Structure 1
């Protein structure tokens, strides 16, 4: 088995990445790449790895990007979940996108903060009703006795909100990651990949550096 794993490899040959191609602002550059991802019609193009650290122990999980603008990268979740508690303890986080079909990766580091209540309300209002109810049903990350417990809670909340609007739970809402480091990775042959990083200076200016692969 180890021999089979060791022999798994892929040579990246699609494109290169040069400094002259980059936008001066990493958020604009991300939008450019993300538009290309959308045009490629990849499955779950907004899936990203959210990494947190609490008590010196790192944790990662996949969440879904729901917005990107000049303020940062936004997603929504349960504030009382394991990740929510870790964010509360340490607001320094990282995001990672990997689009293997385009041989591209983006790494983002920065500080995370809650979005406004209005932003959370606006997004919650456009979620499918089943997802709205799910936000009430799930006490995310808590131990439960069995699947039936979850299904019964779902029925209870369906009855509670039957015929009416499902309001946003107070424990559910948005986060925004405000970047101070963004790295764009383009796979290249022989593992000599292109890595170009934006680093935010103390003066608030983005500086671009090429990194050895």
Structure 2
């Protein structure tokens, strides 16, 4: 340890609270301070034989109730590598890291696919160019020439010259129902502050217990 702990170090700045309310507070601060994509999160998945992979996705809905997302929601091409891994192994984890705030949040739990209606609503809320790009992409598959992809985009734009692009059936969303949420706060001398919330029971209606963790 670089120095002796002070009285201030002995007090946690991560309150015993509802973890969704605490997430809202931290996320709100990130939206004010982060220069780009405060909703960016690392999504870790694994194959059925335990081979992990991780990539960045964007949070597009969150909250404890179904109307707010029923957890933490993102959208993707389900024919991609991540989509295949999710459908084979629904357990995943998320990580938010906000460098400007020196804070991070880790979330673990199972994923469930959103309804077709919800996928439609979000897909058609995106800019038209984003709809075209998603419809044209065979995400994660080999691409001989970038021009091939651009040609597909042009063909779709020509086929649907106005209005929304039909949502491809493989483009969907997933919501994580968290069973563990850990908040991490940087402290001087690497005396970091960590609090773990663990859901009581298996269903989303269960309460939470919490504990501090050694850094």
After TM superposition, which residue ranges in structure 1, 4 or more long, deviate above 6 angstroms? none
- Give the structure-1-normalised TM-score: 0.88
Per-residue deviation, 1:156 = 0.9
Uncovered stretches (5+) of structure 2, i.e. residues with no partner: 1-7, 65-69
* Secondary structure at 1:143 match in 2: coil
Alignment match of 2:15 (pick from 10, 21, 36): 21
Residues 30-45 of structure 1: matches in 2 within 5 Å? 30-45=23-38
Quote how far apart the aligned CAs of 1:202 are.
2.3
The Cα RMSD (Å) is: 1.7
Q: Please give the secondary structure, in 2, of the residue aligned with 1:197.
A: strand
Contact 1:115–1:174, Cα closer than 8 Å, also in 2: yes
Map 1:161-172 → 2, pairs under 5 A = 161-172=160-171
Shift of 1:163: 2.3
1:20, distance to aligned residue in structure 2 (A)? 6.9
Is contact 1:22–1:29 with CA below 8 Å preserved after alignment? no
Name the CA distance, whole Å, in 1 between partners of 2:129 and 2:163: 13
- The whole-number CA distance in structure 2 between the counterparts of 1:36 and 1:192 is 22
Match of 1:60 in 2: 54
Q: Deviations over 1:34-59 (max 9, x none)?
A: 01111225311011000001021110
Would the alpha carbon gap of residues 149 and 135 (structure 1) be closer, same or farther in structure 2, given more than 3 Å must change?
same
TM-score using structure 2 length = 0.87
Q: Is the 8 A contact 2:97 2:103 kept in 1?
A: yes
Q: Give the length in aligned residue pairs.
A: 198
Q: What's the CA shift for 1:116? A: 1.1
